[in-house]
Amino acid sequence: MTQKLGILGWPARHSLSPKIHRFWFREHAIEATYEIMETPEDALAIELVGIRSGAFRGVNVTVPHKEKALTLVDEADDVARRIGAVNTILVKEEGKLFGSNTDAFGFSESLKQSGCDLADVAARPVILGAGGAARAVVAALADAGAKDILVLNRTRARSEALAAEWPIVRAGNWEDRDKALEGATLLINTTSLGMERKDPLEISLGALPKDAWVTDVVYVPLETALLKAAKKRGNRTVDGLGMLLHQAQASFRLWFGITPKVTDELRAHILAA
Protein backbone atom coordinates (compact mmCIF):
# COMPACT_ATOMS: atom_id res chain seq x y z
CA MET A 1 0.00 0.00 0.00
CA THR A 2 1.26 3.49 -0.84
CA GLN A 3 2.32 5.30 2.30
CA LYS A 4 1.18 8.88 2.72
CA LEU A 5 3.27 11.75 4.06
CA GLY A 6 2.88 15.48 3.97
CA ILE A 7 3.51 18.83 5.54
CA LEU A 8 1.03 20.83 7.61
CA GLY A 9 1.54 24.58 7.66
CA TRP A 10 0.01 27.94 6.86
CA PRO A 11 1.06 29.11 4.44
CA ALA A 12 2.83 25.99 3.20
CA ARG A 13 2.38 26.19 -0.55
CA HIS A 14 5.99 27.21 -1.16
CA SER A 15 7.43 24.40 0.93
CA LEU A 16 10.36 22.55 -0.62
CA SER A 17 9.80 19.47 1.54
CA PRO A 18 7.75 17.55 -1.07
CA LYS A 19 10.57 17.93 -3.57
CA ILE A 20 13.19 16.72 -1.08
CA HIS A 21 11.27 13.68 0.12
CA ARG A 22 10.06 12.64 -3.34
CA PHE A 23 13.69 12.70 -4.49
CA TRP A 24 14.55 10.24 -1.75
CA PHE A 25 11.44 8.07 -2.39
CA ARG A 26 12.73 7.61 -5.93
CA GLU A 27 16.28 6.95 -4.79
CA HIS A 28 15.18 4.29 -2.29
CA ALA A 29 12.30 2.88 -4.36
CA ILE A 30 9.80 3.64 -1.62
CA GLU A 31 6.17 3.72 -2.65
CA ALA A 32 4.97 6.86 -0.94
CA THR A 33 3.45 10.26 -1.59
CA TYR A 34 4.30 13.58 0.06
CA GLU A 35 1.78 16.40 -0.25
CA ILE A 36 1.42 19.94 1.00
CA MET A 37 -1.56 20.15 3.34
CA GLU A 38 -2.41 23.80 3.89
CA THR A 39 -3.70 23.92 7.46
CA PRO A 40 -5.07 27.16 8.90
CA GLU A 41 -4.14 28.13 12.45
CA ASP A 42 -7.22 26.61 14.11
CA ALA A 43 -7.38 23.44 11.98
CA LEU A 44 -4.36 21.50 13.24
CA ALA A 45 -6.22 19.31 15.74
CA ILE A 46 -8.84 18.24 13.21
CA GLU A 47 -6.21 17.60 10.56
CA LEU A 48 -4.32 15.34 12.95
CA VAL A 49 -7.47 13.31 13.56
CA GLY A 50 -7.45 12.43 9.86
CA ILE A 51 -3.76 11.59 10.01
CA ARG A 52 -4.25 9.08 12.84
CA SER A 53 -6.42 6.97 10.61
CA GLY A 54 -5.76 5.96 7.04
CA ALA A 55 -2.51 5.40 5.31
CA PHE A 56 -0.31 8.07 6.83
CA ARG A 57 3.23 7.14 7.77
CA GLY A 58 3.84 10.58 9.19
CA VAL A 59 3.90 14.31 8.58
CA ASN A 60 6.08 17.34 8.96
CA VAL A 61 4.68 20.29 10.85
CA THR A 62 5.77 23.83 10.14
CA VAL A 63 4.90 27.44 11.01
CA PRO A 64 2.61 28.26 12.81
CA HIS A 65 1.86 24.79 14.22
CA LYS A 66 5.08 23.48 15.75
CA GLU A 67 4.39 24.45 19.37
CA LYS A 68 0.73 23.41 19.26
CA ALA A 69 1.69 20.06 17.72
CA LEU A 70 3.68 19.21 20.86
CA THR A 71 0.46 19.40 22.89
CA LEU A 72 -1.48 17.25 20.42
CA VAL A 73 0.79 14.22 19.98
CA ASP A 74 0.43 11.15 22.19
CA GLU A 75 4.13 10.90 22.87
CA ALA A 76 7.11 13.18 22.24
CA ASP A 77 10.83 12.56 22.47
CA ASP A 78 13.27 14.52 24.64
CA VAL A 79 14.45 16.81 21.92
CA ALA A 80 10.92 17.92 21.00
CA ARG A 81 10.15 18.59 24.64
CA ARG A 82 13.35 20.55 25.17
CA ILE A 83 12.72 22.69 22.11
CA GLY A 84 9.05 22.97 22.98
CA ALA A 85 7.99 22.18 19.43
CA VAL A 86 7.38 19.26 17.07
CA ASN A 87 8.36 19.37 13.39
CA THR A 88 8.04 15.65 12.61
CA ILE A 89 5.28 13.22 13.50
CA LEU A 90 5.44 9.46 13.05
CA VAL A 91 2.15 7.55 13.04
CA LYS A 92 2.64 4.46 15.16
CA GLU A 93 0.42 1.44 15.66
CA GLU A 94 -3.25 2.14 16.33
CA GLY A 95 -2.86 5.69 15.06
CA LYS A 96 -0.69 6.86 17.94
CA LEU A 97 1.20 10.04 17.11
CA PHE A 98 4.87 10.25 18.05
CA GLY A 99 6.39 13.74 17.88
CA SER A 100 10.02 14.64 17.37
CA ASN A 101 11.99 17.68 16.35
CA THR A 102 14.73 17.39 13.74
CA ASP A 103 15.54 21.10 13.44
CA ALA A 104 18.35 21.06 16.02
CA PHE A 105 19.98 18.12 14.24
CA GLY A 106 19.45 19.89 10.92
CA PHE A 107 21.25 22.95 12.20
CA SER A 108 24.25 21.22 13.73
CA GLU A 109 24.63 18.71 10.89
CA SER A 110 24.47 21.45 8.27
CA LEU A 111 27.30 23.32 9.97
CA LYS A 112 29.28 20.14 10.42
CA GLN A 113 28.99 19.26 6.73
CA SER A 114 30.32 22.74 5.94
CA GLY A 115 33.36 22.19 8.13
CA CYS A 116 32.11 23.90 11.27
CA ASP A 117 31.97 21.73 14.36
CA LEU A 118 29.53 23.39 16.75
CA ALA A 119 31.68 22.50 19.74
CA ASP A 120 34.45 24.70 18.28
CA VAL A 121 32.22 27.77 17.99
CA ALA A 122 30.09 27.27 21.09
CA ALA A 123 32.02 29.77 23.22
CA ARG A 124 30.01 32.86 22.35
CA PRO A 125 27.22 32.41 19.82
CA VAL A 126 24.87 35.28 18.96
CA ILE A 127 21.38 34.42 17.74
CA LEU A 128 19.15 36.94 15.98
CA GLY A 129 15.50 36.08 16.57
CA ALA A 130 13.67 34.12 19.26
CA GLY A 131 11.05 32.10 17.35
CA GLY A 132 10.86 28.38 16.72
CA ALA A 133 14.06 28.21 14.70
CA ALA A 134 15.97 30.04 17.45
CA ARG A 135 14.75 27.51 20.01
CA ALA A 136 16.11 24.63 17.94
CA VAL A 137 19.45 26.43 17.53
CA VAL A 138 19.67 26.95 21.31
CA ALA A 139 19.10 23.22 21.88
CA ALA A 140 21.80 22.31 19.37
CA LEU A 141 24.26 24.76 20.92
CA ALA A 142 23.46 23.46 24.40
CA ASP A 143 24.32 19.96 23.23
CA ALA A 144 27.58 21.29 21.82
CA GLY A 145 28.53 22.68 25.23
CA ALA A 146 27.56 26.35 24.88
CA LYS A 147 27.41 28.19 28.20
CA ASP A 148 26.76 31.74 27.10
CA ILE A 149 24.36 32.33 24.21
CA LEU A 150 23.24 35.85 23.43
CA VAL A 151 19.75 36.12 21.91
CA LEU A 152 18.62 39.39 20.37
CA ASN A 153 15.02 39.74 19.32
CA ARG A 154 12.89 42.68 18.25
CA THR A 155 10.26 41.66 20.80
CA ARG A 156 12.31 41.53 23.96
CA ALA A 157 9.71 39.46 25.86
CA ARG A 158 10.43 36.49 23.59
CA SER A 159 14.19 36.51 24.12
CA GLU A 160 13.59 36.92 27.84
CA ALA A 161 11.27 33.93 27.82
CA LEU A 162 14.07 31.91 26.21
CA ALA A 163 16.53 33.16 28.85
CA ALA A 164 14.12 32.23 31.63
CA GLU A 165 13.90 28.70 30.26
CA TRP A 166 17.58 28.20 29.45
CA PRO A 167 20.15 29.35 32.03
CA ILE A 168 22.77 29.46 29.24
CA VAL A 169 20.80 32.12 27.31
CA ARG A 170 21.11 35.88 27.86
CA ALA A 171 18.66 38.29 26.30
CA GLY A 172 20.05 41.44 24.68
CA ASN A 173 18.58 44.47 22.96
CA TRP A 174 17.76 44.14 19.29
CA GLU A 175 18.95 47.72 18.81
CA ASP A 176 22.41 46.81 20.14
CA ARG A 177 23.03 44.07 17.57
CA ASP A 178 26.03 45.69 15.86
CA LYS A 179 27.96 46.02 19.11
CA ALA A 180 26.83 42.61 20.39
CA LEU A 181 28.99 40.98 17.70
CA GLU A 182 32.19 41.86 19.58
CA GLY A 183 33.90 38.62 20.51
CA ALA A 184 31.21 36.47 18.90
CA THR A 185 32.26 33.03 17.64
CA LEU A 186 29.14 32.32 15.60
CA LEU A 187 26.33 34.54 14.28
CA ILE A 188 23.02 32.91 13.38
CA ASN A 189 20.12 34.74 11.77
CA THR A 190 16.90 32.92 12.63
CA THR A 191 14.62 35.83 11.74
CA SER A 192 12.80 36.07 8.45
CA LEU A 193 14.67 39.28 7.64
CA GLY A 194 16.60 39.08 4.39
CA MET A 195 14.17 36.62 2.86
CA GLU A 196 12.88 37.41 -0.63
CA ARG A 197 10.02 39.92 -0.43
CA LYS A 198 10.68 40.56 3.29
CA ASP A 199 12.49 43.49 4.91
CA PRO A 200 16.27 43.43 4.77
CA LEU A 201 18.31 42.53 7.85
CA GLU A 202 20.07 45.70 8.85
CA ILE A 203 23.26 44.90 10.67
CA SER A 204 26.87 46.04 10.51
CA LEU A 205 29.41 43.26 10.85
CA GLY A 206 32.28 45.62 11.72
CA ALA A 207 32.69 44.32 15.29
CA LEU A 208 32.49 40.64 14.36
CA PRO A 209 35.81 38.77 14.70
CA LYS A 210 37.13 37.61 11.34
CA ASP A 211 37.31 34.00 12.49
CA ALA A 212 33.63 33.87 13.47
CA TRP A 213 31.23 31.73 11.42
CA VAL A 214 28.03 33.24 10.05
CA THR A 215 24.90 31.32 9.11
CA ASP A 216 21.38 32.13 8.08
CA VAL A 217 18.24 30.01 8.26
CA VAL A 218 16.88 31.97 5.29
CA TYR A 219 17.55 30.10 2.02
CA VAL A 220 15.63 32.21 -0.49
CA PRO A 221 17.85 33.78 -1.69
CA LEU A 222 20.51 31.17 -1.04
CA GLU A 223 23.14 33.83 -0.54
CA THR A 224 21.46 36.39 1.69
CA ALA A 225 22.84 39.90 2.07
CA LEU A 226 24.12 38.83 5.50
CA LEU A 227 26.09 35.90 4.08
CA LYS A 228 27.39 38.01 1.22
CA ALA A 229 28.63 40.73 3.57
CA ALA A 230 30.18 38.14 5.89
CA LYS A 231 31.98 36.38 3.04
CA LYS A 232 33.27 39.67 1.68
CA ARG A 233 35.05 40.48 4.96
CA GLY A 234 36.50 36.98 5.24
CA ASN A 235 34.11 35.22 7.62
CA ARG A 236 33.22 31.63 6.85
CA THR A 237 29.54 31.12 6.07
CA VAL A 238 26.90 28.39 5.87
CA ASP A 239 23.71 28.90 3.88
CA GLY A 240 20.23 27.96 5.08
CA LEU A 241 19.54 25.18 2.60
CA GLY A 242 21.72 22.74 4.53
CA MET A 243 19.57 23.03 7.65
CA LEU A 244 16.45 22.40 5.59
CA LEU A 245 17.94 19.32 3.92
CA HIS A 246 19.35 17.86 7.11
CA GLN A 247 16.17 18.30 9.15
CA ALA A 248 14.42 16.48 6.28
CA GLN A 249 17.08 13.75 6.40
CA ALA A 250 16.32 13.11 10.08
CA SER A 251 12.55 13.15 9.45
CA PHE A 252 12.96 10.57 6.68
CA ARG A 253 15.06 8.42 9.01
CA LEU A 254 12.34 8.54 11.66
CA TRP A 255 9.68 7.46 9.15
CA PHE A 256 11.59 4.81 7.22
CA GLY A 257 14.62 3.80 9.29
CA ILE A 258 16.86 4.76 6.38
CA THR A 259 19.29 7.68 6.41
CA PRO A 260 19.03 9.28 2.96
CA LYS A 261 22.03 11.17 1.61
CA VAL A 262 22.29 14.93 1.31
CA THR A 263 24.28 15.29 -1.88
CA ASP A 264 25.23 18.05 -4.31
CA GLU A 265 22.84 16.40 -6.76
CA LEU A 266 19.97 16.83 -4.26
CA ARG A 267 20.94 20.45 -3.63
CA ALA A 268 20.98 21.14 -7.37
CA HIS A 269 17.62 19.41 -7.79
CA ILE A 270 16.06 21.51 -5.03
CA LEU A 271 17.56 24.74 -6.32
CA ALA A 272 16.33 24.13 -9.87
CA ALA A 273 12.95 25.88 -10.01
List interacting residues with ligand ATR (CB under 6 A): 63, 129-134, 153-155, 158, 190-193, 199
Residue-wise DSSP of the chain: -PEEEEEEESS-TT-SHHHHHHHHHHHTT--EEEEEEE--GGGHHHHHHHHHSTTEEEEEE-TTSHHHHHHHSSEE-HHHHHHT--SEEEE-GGG-EEEE--HHHHHHHHHHHTT--GGGG-SSEEEE--SHHHHHHHHHHHHTT---EEEEESSHHHHHHHHHH-TTEEEEEGGGHHHHTTT-SEEEE-SSTTSTTS-------TTS-TT-EEEES--SSSS-HHHHHHHHTT-EEE-THHHHHHHHHHHHHHHHS------HHHHHHHH--
Q: Which is nearer to ligand ATR, 3 or 192 (CB)?
A: 192
| Distance of closest approach, residue 10 Cβ to ligand ATR, in angstroms | 12
| 66 is a catalytic site residue | yes
| Distance of closest approach, residue 58 Cβ to ligand ATR, in angstroms | 20
Q: Which is nearer to ligand ATR, 32 or 138 (CB)?
A: 138
Q: Which is nearer to ligand ATR, 108 or 191 (CB)?
A: 191
| Distance of closest approach, residue 195 Cβ to ligand ATR, in angstroms | 9
* Nearest position to ligand ATR, beta carbon: 131
| Distance of closest approach, residue 198 Cβ to ligand ATR, in angstroms | 7
Q: Which is nearer to ligand ATR, 112 or 158 (CB)?
A: 158
| Catalytic residue (one of 4, 19, 66, 96) | 66
Q: Which residues are catalytic?
A: 66
